[in-house]
Structure 1
Amino acid sequence: MRHVVEMTVTGSIGLVSIFFVDLLNLFYIAQLGEQELAAAIGYAGTVLFFLTSFGIGLSIAGTALVSRALGAGDRHRARQLATSSLVLVAIAMTAISLGMLPVSGWLLTTLGAAGRTHAIADRFLWMVMPATVFLGLGMMYSSILRAAGDAKRAMWVTLAGGIVTAIADPILIFGFGLGVDGAAIASVISRLAMLALGWHSVVRVHKLTSRATPAHVISDLKPLARIAVPAILTNLATPLGNSIVTAMIARYGDGAVAGWAVLGRLVPVAFGAFFALSGSVGPIMGQNVGARLFPRVRQTLTDSLTFIALYGLAVWLILFALSGPIVHLFGATGEAAAVIRFFCVYAALAWAFNGAVFVANAAFNNLGFATYSTVFNWARATIGTVPFAMAGAWIAGPAHGAEGIIAGQAVGGIVFGIASILICYRVIDRLGQRPPDEPPMPAGPPSANSPFTSGKAATAGA
């Protein structure tokens, strides 16, 4: 539990800073007093969420393989995997962001954006989307540091982005009068700051990279893709579900979308520990899987769920008490205020079950069952979202349809949270019964001195 809490707390500070960047952007934009601007940021954020989720999926693969190699005592292999992960995330994020730009307008229209709101959101995307590669590299650097057990430097990589935004946002938005354009520029600068600090920590301090060669990158593509492809598919399910809900809420006007945009940035900040926990338990589990210490893998899952329950309850009580001030802080009125208040008072309590899904997904990815996390996430984003949200809107009626959609989404999360954890325990127990000479998925082709071939394993401080 001490290791879980330490890795999660340090990871939370850094990860929340990424989400805090978006929350700060929305907060400052809200001070301009135009509801269309807040709605535009909400629509743009939904599109950018797809790219961020893609980067997270790639980072999961890098974390899993590097931590396994370190846990097995094979530092040479870990350096090669770290380098290949960075090269692949740079290529992939650049290609995808440039590919999405020409269809950004169509994506916003599909989500329900129209008129001035659509034009503002599209301009924001064209300014920020090309810089997504910097965010992807920053996240990968942070993940490599977590795989090495350096939670403090991993925290500072992401925290740097939040600090830069906190300084640049008010200067650019109000000082230079750039408005939404200023928020976009601040986002780009913050991502460059993450990239710079991450490079220094991984390359200069830990020396966890090696010279990149096409042969090494190509050879590492298969083991990385084995985890990255299902992890990416898994992570893309969340923005898909978010897009579905955004399109449904858009039927109730820009006010409802503005309130949903606030929640889309408030929730990751409030529940950032859940996101950090899923990233933190991965290296812990990965190192112990490499050392074949499956009782510790199971205990890590149990301790994580205990943390989720206590943290989730505490955050809900805080949101419940501060629902009024939060509405006032963002200048929300009408439907926007109703959506925010409903979530804080009622739906936030169900977020502990979403945390359970995140942890189960991290466990599946590091145990060699990444397909399981893909299935659960997509089922939750579709079966666990659409029918539940539609039922919620129908029960709530036209006057409170947006609140009903949020309630339905929360109920679907509860169902799939319980199911994912039950199956995760069964997977761990099954792996623990394997013969000692049958190793869990190794971190790619082992080198000559790899403990996977000699039968030895090291805990690497797990």
Structure 2
Amino acid sequence: MAVTSEELGSQDIKKLLIKQAVPSSIGILFMSVNILIDTIFVGQWIGSLAIAALTVVLPITFLISSLGMAIGVGGGSVLSRALGSNDREKAKHVFGNQIMMTFILSMVFSVLGLIFSEQMLLLFGAKGAIMKPAREFFIPIIISVPFLALCMMGNNIIRAEGKAKFAMVAMIIPAFVNIALDIIFIKLMNLGVFGAALATSISYFMCFVFVLWFFVYKSELQLNARHLKFQTHILKEITELSFVTFSRQGVVSILAIILNHTLYFYGGEHSITVYGIISRMLMFALFPILGITQGFLPIAGYNYGAKNTKRVHESVIVSIKYSAILATIIFVAILFFAQSVVSVFTNDPKVIAETPNALRWVFAASPIIAIQLIGAAYFQAAGKAKKALLLTLTKQGFFLIPLVLILPHFLGIFGVWIAFPIADVLSTLITAYFLKKEMNIKPITTTDGLL
């Protein structure tokens, strides 16, 4: 049974978190399995070079589509607090402004991506033999990115309403569509990388159809034309918090550029394939922690808007506790089964030899990342844009990028892999400091969101 927005402020936190996090986790699991199987099909049916091509292209498309995710998360925080303070008219205006922002921005950036496709692919590391399959994959995907952006925005609003099960279905649909079409286009019709791109593009559109259906027939936020009109103060609120998420994705894209060029320099095309496998495993293996983080956001945002300090603090503690237990189990599994995992993706002996140890190092600090993820999410849910931005950028921006640039000069390709756990530890320490300081503040005042 779906949770209503009012229940976010009244149900037991542990039960509520489970109700919100389990559907979110299942949705992320299916999305991760989709990307994972897509990579396995591409690696086994086309070749390891095609995995490298996907590793180059996906950061570009996710950068553009993350405009929708950023607007969804940032606006979702504003919307959750509006619902918490029982201001439904503001919540509708927020949602209407989010739709228009996402549509306009994603269309503009998609057109620019088409115009400058060659330059973008080169920038993101499509060197040597990688360029041809990267180009085949890029064009169909970039055309479908506005649909993906609207899906990512809408999915966050569905969760902000407390309808986590519908958000889960929105993530499951493209997974099934993509896997089925992969088999048809790649295996049966032998369309290669273009077939993989076509399958992914159609899956994005089908997700959009479901999200549109939800907001027309199931949502509490029934809009009319006036809600779509831009309002300056609402745009300002959405933009400040959306900038946090988009900055994170922007830094992730910059990291992808640096990683792809560094990996190519020190290890060639096969090292980019290695990271392609690892990046897919990061999303797949950590799905329950990401699900808890997404489930936590509307709970914290609603109760912050209702000025219920006790429930906000309890939601932080419970979310960190559950996430830490799950992350530890995941790390132990990776430690023992890395070799078996890698052999599923490819038969390339170079990739199979290098990937297991690299995978173990990248996951080495995963038991402590719960503090980092929930801590940054708390400040975003509370509307504290500056602190949220600082903590969001610590891992990739302040630590991982400099470490990836410096360590390989002394340690070669191993320097890239060891940079990940070092960045995790440092960013977790900083997040823990700010979060501990915040949790000692008892009252929630009306000016907190400005700090």
Structure 1 residues 228 and 190, CA, compared in 2 at 3 Å: closer, same or farther? same
Instruction: Tell me by how many angstroms 1:412 deviates.
Output: 1.1
Structure 1 residues 277 and 236, CA, compared in 2 at 3 Å: closer, same or farther? farther
Query: In structure 1, how many angstroms separate the alpha carbons of the residues matched to 2:284 and 2:349?
Result: 24
Give TM-score scaled by structure 2 length: 0.90
Query: In structure 2, how many angstroms separate the alpha carbons of the residues matched to 1:293 and 1:338?
Result: 53
- Write the deviation string for residues 121-152 of structure 1: whole angstroms up to 9, x where unpaired: 12211110121111111122211111111111
Structure 1 residues 240 and 8, CA, compared in 2 at 3 Å: closer, same or farther? farther
The within-5 A match list for 1:250-289 is 250-251=264-265, 252-289=267-304
Indicate which of 87, 91, 94 corresponds to 2:107: 94
Instruction: Tell me by how many angstroms 1:103 deviates.
Output: 2.7
Give TM-score scaled by structure 1 length: 0.88
Indicate which of 250, 254, 261 corresponds to 1:240: 254
Indicate which of 403, 406, 413 corresponds to 2:414: 403
The within-5 A match list for 1:356-375 is 356-375=371-390
Identity of aligned residues (%): 20
Quick check: 1:416 aligned with 2:427?
A: yes
The within-5 A match list for 1:294-443 is 294-390=309-405, 392-396=407-411, 401-430=412-441, 432-434=442-444, 438=446, 440-441=448-449
| Root mean square deviation, CA, Å | 2.2
In structure 2, what residue type is equivalent to 1:95?
V
In structure 1, what residue type is equivalent to 2:321?
T
The within-5 A match list for 1:160-175 is 160-175=173-188
In structure 1, what residue type is equivalent to 2:86?
G
* Contact 2:293/2:373 (<8 A) preserved: yes
- Write the deviation string for residues 172-219 of structure 1: whole angstroms up to 9, x where unpaired: 111111111111011111111111111112221124131134873234
In structure 2, what residue type is equivalent to 1:420?
T
- Write the deviation string for residues 380-419 of structure 1: whole angstroms up to 9, x where unpaired: 22331134335543454xxxx3333111122111110221
Q: Name 2:213's counterpart in structure 1.
A: 200
Secondary structure of the residue aligned to 2:45 is coil
Indicate which of 194, 198, 202 corresponds to 1:189: 202
Bigger Cα displacement from structure 2, 346-355 vs 151-160: 346-355
Bigger Cα displacement from structure 2, 84-93 vs 348-357: 348-357
Query: In structure 2, how many angstroms separate the alpha carbons of the residues matched to 1:80 and 1:282?
Result: 20
In structure 2, what residue type is equivalent to 1:316?
F
Task: Flag structure 1 segments of 5+ consecutive residues without an equivalent.
Answer: 443-462
Instruction: Tell me by how many angstroms 1:75 deviates.
Output: 2.3
Task: Flag structure 2 segments of 5+ consecutive residues without an equivalent.
Answer: 1-13
Aligned length: 435
Indicate which of 3, 20, 39 corresponds to 1:7: 20
Secondary structure of the residue aligned to 1:217 is coil
* Contact 1:235/1:377 (<8 A) preserved: no
Bigger Cα displacement from structure 2, 165-174 vs 330-339: 330-339
- Write the deviation string for residues 273-312 of structure 1: whole angstroms up to 9, x where unpaired: 2322322211111111011111221221111211221111
The within-5 A match list for 1:91-170 is 91-170=104-183
Instruction: Tell me by how many angstroms 1:349 deviates.
Output: 3.0
Quick check: 1:67 aligned with 2:80?
A: yes
In structure 2, what residue type is equivalent to 1:267?
L
In structure 2, what residue type is equivalent to 1:178?
L
Structure 1 residues 419 and 113, CA, compared in 2 at 3 Å: closer, same or farther? same
Instruction: Tell me by how many angstroms 1:10 deviates.
Output: 0.9
* Contact 1:80/1:209 (<8 A) preserved: no
* Contact 2:76/2:156 (<8 A) preserved: yes
Structure 1 residues 134 and 73, CA, compared in 2 at 3 Å: closer, same or farther? same
- Write the deviation string for residues 51-90 of structure 1: whole angstroms up to 9, x where unpaired: 2433321111121122112111222322222222122111
Query: In structure 1, how many angstroms separate the alpha carbons of the residues matched to 2:129 and 2:335?
Result: 34
* Contact 2:361/2:421 (<8 A) preserved: no
Secondary structure of the residue aligned to 1:177 is coil
Instruction: Tell me by how many angstroms 1:164 deviates.
Output: 0.9
Query: In structure 1, how many angstroms separate the alpha carbons of the residues matched to 2:240 and 2:439?
Result: 19
Structure 1 residues 59 and 297, CA, compared in 2 at 3 Å: closer, same or farther? same
Query: In structure 1, how many angstroms separate the alpha carbons of the residues matched to 2:435 and 2:260?
Result: 30
- Write the deviation string for residues 219-262 of structure 1: whole angstroms up to 9, x where unpaired: 43222112222332233222322332222112111111111111
